């Protein structure tokens, strides 16, 4: 075991130290109260501005629909001016936007994103950004709470959700940043995962001038098809009384069997599949023998069929009625979590909401009605161009922008197979092989990471404040992006840390360097697999 302190010395590269732009607000309390009345911008009303000192808990509105956001009540990491705004985005839509402006400012601007279908400002991400001295903004994505019902009969709210909330937050956020500090920001960044990952790619595709560096995780790109795919599992499992349903215990059997078949492909049986793409899992070995009277530790043929469907790509038809891929298969490895998410015998709420309120405008539609016709309809309607699948991102490249894309290889919500598909799509569309695409867009596969965080792998990569380790003692993707943008030092690998029981104070369990796609991690020294040096990135 290595202590976090020792770890700091193990880490490659130092954290960017471009302190030339560092500046201090001299009378922050006064500046903060005056910005409330002096800031003027079209369609913006400042609700309040309050100066908060480091260590003080922030008070967050959790009333009404906002109660579903389950905002963590936490302390702000640094002295800052918190500005809350109301911004009109059309005659029938609006966002709430917060800008947290640290007293000790690096000159950097950061925008954060959202998750799922929400409707929830990610305060922990905003706080995380300020802890590194970014002037950081986050918005509510055009509605309050986790439900999609705000989309019903209001396409402007869908526009906010697809792209306008983040873009508006950037325009207004940069303006208030410059008004507050009285000088221009130096560089502009983005950090988001899941829906936040999709929002980041949307910006890269549609507003290439908003950011210099974009860090996106597990992006929900191919959004309509993702929503259909997310609903498909309920069709396969049925409810919990169906013959096709597997209990969590059965999924645990499947998980063990997957490890048996695939864990060693990467060179070591450590409970982590470095590259689930290589796992052609066959559940036939779990099938009960015809004579078995006790089926508690084997699968019926109906259950085997369910497992096969779950790990198969989801196909439908295109406009010419030819067979077409809707979404790639769920990657093997996330079954223990998915037994309680996609495989729990319940309709998936985001799928149901998206179809009810954004696609069909039929609040009575049920996820059990889903089929390839509805999938094709959603793909065709593509409200507010939410698909976020544009393959040509040359405008972002040409202005010098950089993208760091990561995806957990044990993601229980968005299959990790979708990310290489998008990377390859960009590569083909732009005619750039990985060796050239890597100049401005790098994709890292994080083995053993669940959806955006958590999991059995070395998943702490500085992607958010969610983990226990938020300081520089890790291969911090946000600060690696700063190095790339400001010093031209592109990350070769992304270093991840696994803390004992995911608790930094208990020390480091292991450290692993995650490879840049299309390379994959191979263990070359299985006896020392917890050491980064036991691994090699290979093609």
Ligand X SMILES: *[C@@H]1O[C@H](CO)[C@@H](O)[C@H](O)[C@H]1NC(C)=O
User: Where in the sequence numbering do the catalytic residues fall?
Assistant: 194, 411, 451
266 binds, among ligand X, Ca ion, none (CB under 5 to 8 A by kind): Ca ion
Task: Please work out the total of residues on this chain that contact Ca ion, with binding judged by CB under 5 A.
Answer: 4
Q: Measured from the CB atom, is 245 or 529 closer to Ca ion?
A: 529
Binding mask 206-245 for Ca ion (x = CB under 5 A): ----------------------------------------
Residue with tokens 């880490």: 11
Q: Cβ of residue 279: shortest distance to Ca ion, in angstroms?
A: 10
256 binds, among Ca ion, ligand X, none (CB under 5 to 8 A by kind): none
Q: Cβ of residue 275: shortest distance to Ca ion, in angstroms?
A: 9
Q: Measured from the CB atom, is 386 or 437 closer to ligand X?
A: 386
Helix (H, G, I), strand (E, B) or coil at 79: coil
Asked if residue 71 lies in contact with residue 62, where contact means CB atoms within 8 angstroms, the answer is: yes
150 binds, among Ca ion, ligand X, none (CB under 5 to 8 A by kind): ligand X
305 binds, among Ca ion, ligand X, none (CB under 5 to 8 A by kind): none
Q: Cβ of residue 267: shortest distance to Ca ion, in angstroms?
A: 7
User: Which listed range, 43-51, 132-140, 260-268, 388-396, lies at the site for Ca ion (CB under 5 A)?
Assistant: 260-268
Cα separation, 522 vs 79, in Å, equals 44
Apex 200 CA angle, 135 and 314, nearest 5: 155
Cα separation, 372 vs 539, in Å, equals 36
CA dihedral 233, 235, 239, 241 (to 10 degrees): -110
Nearest of 246, 235, 237 to residue 366 by alpha carbon: 235
321 binds, among Ca ion, ligand X, none (CB under 5 to 8 A by kind): ligand X
Q: Cβ of residue 359: shortest distance to ligand X, in angstroms?
A: 12
How many angstroms from the chain centroid is the CA of residue 278? 23
Cα separation, 268 vs 208, in Å, equals 42
418 binds, among ligand X, Ca ion, none (CB under 5 to 8 A by kind): none
β-strand partners of 499: 508
Q: Measured from the CB atom, is 183 or 398 closer to ligand X?
A: 183
Contacts to ligand X by CB under 6 A: 22, 24, 57, 61, 66, 73, 75, 86, 92-94, 96, 104, 106, 133, 143-144, 150, 154, 157, 222, 225, 240, 294, 296-297, 316, 318, 321, 324-326, 345, 375-376, 379, 389, 500-501, 506
Distances (CA, A) of 265 to 99, 278, 281, 326, 470: 47, 8, 12, 28, 32
Q: Measured from the CB atom, is 11 or 537 closer to ligand X?
A: 11
Out of 65, 263, 277, 460, the residue judged to bind Ca ion by CB under 5 A: 263
Binding mask 264-283 for Ca ion (x = CB under 5 A): --x---x-x-----------
Asked if residue 524 lies in contact with residue 513, where contact means CB atoms within 8 angstroms, the answer is: no
Nearest of 465, 451, 501 to residue 74 by alpha carbon: 465
* Distant-in-sequence, close-in-space partners of 455: CB < 8 Å, separation ≥ 6: 408, 410, 448, 449
Q: Measured from the CB atom, is 209 or 366 closer to ligand X?
A: 366
Q: Cβ of residue 445: shortest distance to ligand X, in angstroms?
A: 20
Asked if residue 239 lies in contact with residue 345, where contact means CB atoms within 8 angstroms, the answer is: yes
Asked if residue 326 lies in contact with residue 314, where contact means CB atoms within 8 angstroms, the answer is: yes
Q: Cβ of residue 96: shortest distance to ligand X, in angstroms?
A: 5
Q: Measured from the CB atom, is 500 or 538 closer to ligand X?
A: 500
Cα separation, 383 vs 354, in Å, equals 10
Binding mask 87-126 for Ca ion (x = CB under 5 A): ----------------------------------------
278 binds, among Ca ion, ligand X, none (CB under 5 to 8 A by kind): none
Asked if residue 367 lies in contact with residue 361, where contact means CB atoms within 8 angstroms, the answer is: no
Cα separation, 120 vs 98, in Å, equals 11
Q: Measured from the CB atom, is 321 or 435 closer to ligand X?
A: 321
How many angstroms from the chain centroid is the CA of residue 266? 25
How many angstroms from the chain centroid is the CA of residue 41? 31
296 binds, among Ca ion, ligand X, none (CB under 5 to 8 A by kind): ligand X
Q: Cβ of residue 297: shortest distance to ligand X, in angstroms?
A: 4
Q: Measured from the CB atom, is 283 or 328 closer to ligand X?
A: 328
Question: How many CB atoms lie under 10 A from the CB of residue 369?
Answer: 16
Question: How many CB atoms lie under 10 A from the CB of residue 107?
Answer: 20
* Distant-in-sequence, close-in-space partners of 272: CB < 8 Å, separation ≥ 6: 263, 266, 410, 447, 448, 456, 457
375 binds, among Ca ion, ligand X, none (CB under 5 to 8 A by kind): ligand X
Q: Measured from the CB atom, is 220 or 304 closer to ligand X?
A: 220
Q: Cβ of residue 94: shortest distance to ligand X, in angstroms?
A: 4
Instruction: Report the sign of the C-alpha dihedral through residues 392, 395, 397, 403, in that order.
Output: negative
Cα separation, 379 vs 388, in Å, equals 11
Q: Cβ of residue 328: shortest distance to ligand X, in angstroms?
A: 9
Interacting residues with Ca ion (CB under 5 A): 263, 266, 270, 272
């Amino acid at each position: 075991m290595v202590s976090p302190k020792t770890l700091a010395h193990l880490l490659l590269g130092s954290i960017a130290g471009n302190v030339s732009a560092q500046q201090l607000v001299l009378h922050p309390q006064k500046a903060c109260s005056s910005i409330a009345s002096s800031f003027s911008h079209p369609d913006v009303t400042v609700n309040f501005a309050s100066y908060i000192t480091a260590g003080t808990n922030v008070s967050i509105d959790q009333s009404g629909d906002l109660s579903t956001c389950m905002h963590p009540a936490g302390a702000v990491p640094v002295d800052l001016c918190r500005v809350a705004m109301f911004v009109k985005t059309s005659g029938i839509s609006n966002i709430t936007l917060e800008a947290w402006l640290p007293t000790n400012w690096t000159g950097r601007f950061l925008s954060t994103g959202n998750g799922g279908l929400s409707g929830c400002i990610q305060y922990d991400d905003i706080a995380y950004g300020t802890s590194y001295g970014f002037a950081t903004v986050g918005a509510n994505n055009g509605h309050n709470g986790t439900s999609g019902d705000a989309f019903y009969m209001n396409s402007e709210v869908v526009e906010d959700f697809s792209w306008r909330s983040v873009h508006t937050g950037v325009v207004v956020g940069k303006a208030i940043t410059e008004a507050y500090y009285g000088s221009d920001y130096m560089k502009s960044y983005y950090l988001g995962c899941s829906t936040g990952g999709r929002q980041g790619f949307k910006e890269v595709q549609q507003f290439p001038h908003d950011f210099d560096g974009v860090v996106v995780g597990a992006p929900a790109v191919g959004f309509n098809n993702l929503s259909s795919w997310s609903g498909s599992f309920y069709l396969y499992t049925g409810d919990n009384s169906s013959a096709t349903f597997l209990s969590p215990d059965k999924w645990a059997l499947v998980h063990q069997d997957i490890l048996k078949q695939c864990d060693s492909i990467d060179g070591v049986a450590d409970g982590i599949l470095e590259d689930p793409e290589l796992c052609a899992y066959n559940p036939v070995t779990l099938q009960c023998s015809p004579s078995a009277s006790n089926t508690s530790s084997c699968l019926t043929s109906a259950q085997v069929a369910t497992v096969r469907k779950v790990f198969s790509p989801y196909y439908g038809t295109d406009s010419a009625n030819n067979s077409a891929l809707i979404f790639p298969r769920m990657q093997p490895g996330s079954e223990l979590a998915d037994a309680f998410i996609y495989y729990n015998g319940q309709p998936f709420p985001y799928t149901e909401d998206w179809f009810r309120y954004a696609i069909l405008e039929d609040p009575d539609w049920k996820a059990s009605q889903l089929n390839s016709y509805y999938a094709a309809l959603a793909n065709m309607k593509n409200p507010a161009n939410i698909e976020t699948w544009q393959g040509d991102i040359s405008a972002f490249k040409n202005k010098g922008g950089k993208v760091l894309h990561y995806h957990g290889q044990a993601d229980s919500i968005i299959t990790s197979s979708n990310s290489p598909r998008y990377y390859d799509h960009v590569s083909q569309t732009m005619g750039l092989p990985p060796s050239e695409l890597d100049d401005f867009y790098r994709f890292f596969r994080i083995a053993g990471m669940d959806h955006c965080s958590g999991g059995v792998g070395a998943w702490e990569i500085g992607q958010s404040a969610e983990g226990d380790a938020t300081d520089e003692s890790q291969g911090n993707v946000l600060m690696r992006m700063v190095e790339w943008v400001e010093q031209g030092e592109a990350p070769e690998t992304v270093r991840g840390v696994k803390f004992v029981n995911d608790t930094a104070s208990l020390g480091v369990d292991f450290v692993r360097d995650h490879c840049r796609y299309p390379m994959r991690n191979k263990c070359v020294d299985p006896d020392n697999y917890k050491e980064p040096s036991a691994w090699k990135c290979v093609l």
